[in-house]
Amino acid sequence: METLVYRGERANLEVLAEEIAADPVLGRHCTVRFEAAGPADQGSLRHDAWAEIAIAIATGIATSAIYDSLRLLVSRARDRGKVSEVKPASESDDRPASESGSESTR
């Protein structure tokens, strides 16, 4: 599975998860795992205001149309607030975040 991981404001990422689930194609081929960031990852935001979302794309389904749809929804989330792509914890440190995939379940 290819996995994309993003970090941002919890409420904003919850909306992103709902948008992915509501999309007829993404809802069938992607799973979303959502979790609050730990206190060390909170930065200046208070506890539970910061979260991570991992979006997993089913093996063999990772097409440019799927990625384009996800990029559009992430772009909308970035318009609502801060969202940044992060490397999944399971990825090796020498692989750029843009090449990494992420797995998720909601």
User: In CATH, which of 3.20.20.80, 1.20.1440.230, 3.40.50.300, 3.30.70.2920 is domain 2-99?
Assistant: 3.30.70.2920
Tell me the pTM: 0.71
* Domain ranges for the chain: 2-99
Summarised one tens digit per residue, pLDDT across range 34-82 is: 887 765 555 554 555 889 999 998 877 768 889 899 999 999 999 999 8
Summarised one tens digit per residue, pLDDT across range 6-26 is: 999 999 999 999 999 999 989
Cα-based torsion angle of the residue sequence 75, 77, 81, 86 in order, rounded to the nearest 10 degrees: -80
| H or E element, residue 28 | helix 24-29
